[in-house]
Chain A
Amino acid sequence: MTVLVLADHDNKALGAATLNAVTAATELGGDVHVLVAGNGCAAVADEAAKVAGVAKVLLAEDAMYADALAENMAALIVSLADSYDVILAAATTSGKNILPRVAALLDVAQISEIVEVVSPDTFVRPIYAGNAMATVQSSDAKKVITVRSTNFAAAAATGGSASVEAASAAADTGLSTFVGAELSKSERPELTSAKIVISGGRGMQSGDNFHLLEKVADKLGAAVGASRAAVDAGFVPNDYQVGQTGKVVAPQLYIAVGISGAIQHLAGMKDSKVIVAINKDEEAPIFQVADYGLVADLFKALPELDEALG
């Protein structure tokens, strides 16, 4: 069996979630190949070749792959698919955009956001926002799978010595073009790969008050997140959102501040190793999943926390 892992990257560096996807691919058994498709991204291919467990890296460089637009990326993957039994990607927004298109072109089902490999054709995936776990068996000869990266350990970034081979570009579909991107610039770690995450909810009362969280985040080397309520209230941008419809995180430490703990939010953080909740409402559901709960006014607790961390 040979598995093709679609690398997530920005043409400069390999996205962290790809390392988790490689682990999931390794659990399926067989050889693991990684496809790096982009433009001017040879450094990413070299990085992928060093990942432990990777046997081969395919590098497809063309201007039309620079922004990973789904139509051309899917056409490329389908052109390579004959040699593979499984095509797999991390369930990033890019993986979720491209892989269902690949699956449909191959006339197979996609198995979305698996959290466990039971056997090469059987997987566990969350449904109903993680309130139920379904074990599903695929009858398709070729399988297309996305992986919830927080449920698989990251493969070692070094130790491998895979060969890098050029893959030819597929025909340009000409269906879509890239116009622009507005990416949040932050010195803090990326939300989905941070070891510590501190999130604020509606209790923060305003976007300005998030600086109280940011001060603590900087002392801890943490990423800053938010609940859907805080995003909907306009306190912080959309990409801060942790939850069923936002990002799924599983850091070593998750600190929820002024977050009540709606099911929607819990679905995005309940696999964190240690959960801390700070909320003035002692009945808040977040306390039911927190390892350490502090009933306190966050406007007093956050400055105290900042102080205590020196």
Chain B
Amino acid sequence: MKVLVAVKRVVDYNVKIRVKADKTGVDLANVKMSMNPFDEIAVEEGLRLREAGVATEVVAMSVGPQAAQETLRTALAMGADRGILVKTDETVEPLGVAKLMKAVAEEEKPDLIIVGKQAIDDDSNQTGQMLAALLGWSQGTFASEVNLDGGTAKVTREVDGGLQTIELKMPAVVTTDLRLNEPRYASLPNIMKAKKKPIDEKTPEDLGVDISPRLKTLKVEEPAKREAGVRVESVAELVDKLKNEAGVI
């Protein structure tokens, strides 16, 4: 059984981003980039399936500029078998990524595709659902547990109010939530080994996919700032302020 995972190169989650002065976007110059944290969980889940003897191969793909190759190398260092980079310098929206992934899936014929539930840059939370739709496959989003059994995948999902378990007909698309697993760190020997693993490069044109954007970003601004308020000295003063000044209790 083959597993396809997707990884996105994003601004590292520890970086405090800055909006550009001309409001055209977020400043990415000299900013540390890393693999989207939800995608690390996707890679880890694929590796665990292979280690459990359920999957035989884990293929990692990414859509992005040449530098996204580094993100793929990270996935390979974690243990993925090989990589596919769909190279483009354009900003690709989730619908475009889903179309590119569909084209790759038609060549690779995976039984399961695992992606992060959202990327921490654009926070769209769309690609997995869109990919499942385009392939006509089932979807298990926001997964906190995945169990494969024969032709089905049992997926426990994090939903408002608790957990929901569903059974998916395979092939399926699963999107990861935070608590699906704890991704491993790549060891130094594995980082060295990953340098020799193959990464196949393609372009959207090779795959015959139109990735033209449907949305135009008119401007990007800082959110309204909240001003720090006052310090209170005691619980009694706090309760008094909430009752008589703010009027919220």
- In the complex, which of the residues B16, B93, B126, B166 contacts A263, with contact meaning CB atoms closer than 8 Å? B16
Cα–Cα distance between A101 and B131 once the two chains are bound (Å): 8
Our pick among B26, B125, B140 for the contact of A128 (Cβ within 8 Å) is: B26
Cβ of B196 < 8 Å from any Cβ of A?
no
Instruction: Indicate if the CB atoms of A94 and B160 lie closer than 8 Å.
Output: yes
- Of A103, A182, A190, A245, the residue contacting B130 (CB under 8 A) is A103
Q: How far is the CB of B159 from chain A (nearest CB, A)?
A: 4
Cα-based distance from A233 to B102 in the complex (angstroms): 38
Query: Interface digits, A43-56 against B, CB 8 Å rule (1 contact, 0 not)?
Result: 00000000000000
A247 to B161, CA, bound (A): 10
Q: Is there contact, CB below 8 Å, between A100 and B129?
A: yes
Q: Is the CB of B138 within 8 A of A71?
A: yes
Nearest CB in chain B: distance from A275 CB, A: 8
B133/A132 in contact, CB under 8 A: no
Contact-size category for A = 35 or more
Q: Determine the chain A residues whose CB is within 8 A of the CB of B154 once the complex forms.
A: 179
| A246 to B249 Cα, complex, angstroms | 26
Which of B127, B168, B241 meets A176, CB within 8 Å? B168
Within 8 A of B (CB), among A117-146: 122, 126-140
Q: Which residues of B contact A276 (CB under 8 A)?
A: 238, 242
Interface 9-residue window, one of B55-63, B67-75, B183-191, B222-230: B222-230
In the bound complex, residues from chain A placing their C-beta under 8 Å from that of B130 are 100-101, 103-104, 110
A140–B16 Cα distance when bound, in Å, is 33
B161 near A183 with CB under 8 A, answer: yes
For chain A residues 62-83, which have a beta carbon within 8 Å of chain B?
67, 69-71, 74
**Beta-carbon contact of A175 and B160 below 8 Å:** no
Q: When A97-B142, A177-B166 are in contact, do A133 and B221 touch as well, CB less than 8 Å?
A: yes
Stretch at the interface among B42-50, B81-89, B199-207, B211-219: B211-219
Q: Is the CB of A109 within 8 A of B169?
A: no
Contact A131 B141 (CB under 8 A): no
In the complex, the answer to whether B249 meets A289 with C-beta atoms within 8 Å is no
Q: Is A96 an interface residue (CB 8 A)?
A: yes
Which residue of B19, B137, B214, B239 contacts A305 across the interface (Cβ within 8 Å)? B239
Contact across chains for B139 and A71 when beta carbons are under 8 A apart: yes
* Chain B residues bordering chain A, tally (CB within 8 A): 77
Whether the pair B133, A101 counts as a contact (CB closer than 8 A) is: yes
B29 at the interface (CB under 8 A from A): no
| A111-B229 in contact given A92-B160, A126-B123, A239-B162 (Cβ < 8 Å) | no
A181 proximal to B (CB < 8 A) = yes
A238 (CB) vs chain B CBs: closest residue: B158
Query: A residues within 8 A CB of B242?
Result: 253, 274, 276, 292
Give the interface segment out of A19-27, A163-171, A294-302. A294-302
B132 to chain A: closest residue by CB: A101
- Return A46 CB to nearest CB of chain B, in Å: 23
Out of A71, A131, A140, which one reaches B214, CB within 8 Å? A140
Q: How far is the CB of A15 from chain B (nearest CB, A)?
A: 8
* B163 neighbours in A (Cβ, 8 Å): 181-183, 238
Is B195 engaged at the interface, CB distance under 8 Å to the other chain? no
| Chain A: CB-nearest residue to B170 | A175
Whether the Cβ atoms of B215 and A138 lie closer than 8 Å is: yes
**Chain B residue with minimal CB distance to A191?**
B160
**For B157, B169, B233, which residue has the most chain A Cβ atoms within 10 angstroms?**
B169
B229 proximity list for chain A (CB < 8 A): 275, 290-293
Q: How far is the CA of A130 from the CA of B223 in the complex (A)?
A: 7
Q: Which residues on the A side are within 8 Å of B167 (C-beta)? A: 176-177, 179
With A97-B141, A131-B17: A136-B218 Cβ-Cβ less than 8 Å: yes
Complex alpha-carbon distance, A239 and B17, angstroms: 28
A109 touches B215 (CB 8 A): yes
Are A101 and B129 touching (Cβ within 8 A)? Answer: yes
Determine the residue in chain A with the shortest Cβ distance to B126.
A100
Please determine whether A179 and B159 come into contact, CB atoms closer than 8 angstroms. no
Once the chains are docked, how many angstroms separate the CA of A135 from the CA of B220?
Answer: 6
Q: Does A287 contact B (CB under 8 A)?
A: yes
Q: Given the complex, which residues of A lie within 8 Å of B162, measured CB to CB?
A: 181-184, 237, 239
Please list the 4 inter-chain residue pairs (A to B) with the smallest Cβ-Cβ separation, ordered nearest first.
Answer: A291-B229, A104-B130, A100-B129, A109-B214
Q: Which residues from chain B sit less than 8 Å from chain A, CB to CB?
A: 11, 16-17, 19, 26, 93-95, 98, 118, 120-134, 137-142, 144, 154, 157-169, 177-179, 213-223, 226, 228-236, 238-239, 241-242, 246, 248-249
- Extra contacts besides A104-B98, A263-B16, A288-B228 (14): CB < 8 Å: A70-B129, A70-B132, A70-B139, A110-B94, A132-B26, A134-B219, A135-B217, A135-B219, A178-B166, A179-B154, A182-B162, A196-B249, A239-B162, A245-B118
Residues of A within 8 A of B (CB): 67, 69-71, 74, 92-94, 96-105, 107-113, 122, 126-140, 174-184, 190, 192, 196, 220, 228, 232, 237-239, 244-245, 247, 252-253, 263, 270, 273-276, 287-296, 301, 304-305, 308-309
